[in-house]
């Protein structure tokens, strides 16, 4: 391994996220939406609409696209957690 390879391996990976604001809201959004979305059988249009509505009320500064992305991230996180425990 040469010096350039060592230097590159010590560098932090580039940030992939284009909107760090959503990352800042993720933990609180997860806590807020978990009771609503925890049961995967209840994931339907109504529960997703309620989740988006709750986030829009909590974070009125976020756009509709940002709200959708945050709900999708919370759903993915809950699904991944369920797969690991099951």
Cα torsion 26, 28, 33, 37: sign: positive
List the one residue out of 58, 20, 52, 17 whose CA is nearest residue 37: 52
Predicted pLDDT at 39: 73
Q: Given a cut of 60, is residue 7 above it in pLDDT? A: no
In this prediction, residue 4 carries a pLDDT of 58
């Amino acid at each position: 391994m040469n010096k350039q390879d060592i230097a590159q391996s010590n560098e932090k990976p580039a940030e992939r996220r284009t909107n760090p604001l959503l990352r800042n809201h993720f933990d609180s959004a997860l806590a807020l939406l978990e009771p609503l979305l925890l049961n995967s059988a209840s994931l339907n249009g109504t529960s997703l609409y309620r989740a988006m509505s709750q986030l829009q009320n909590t974070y009125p500064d976020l756009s509709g696209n940002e709200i959708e992305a945050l709900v999708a991230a919370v759903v993915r996180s809950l699904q991944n957690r369920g797969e690991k425990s099951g």
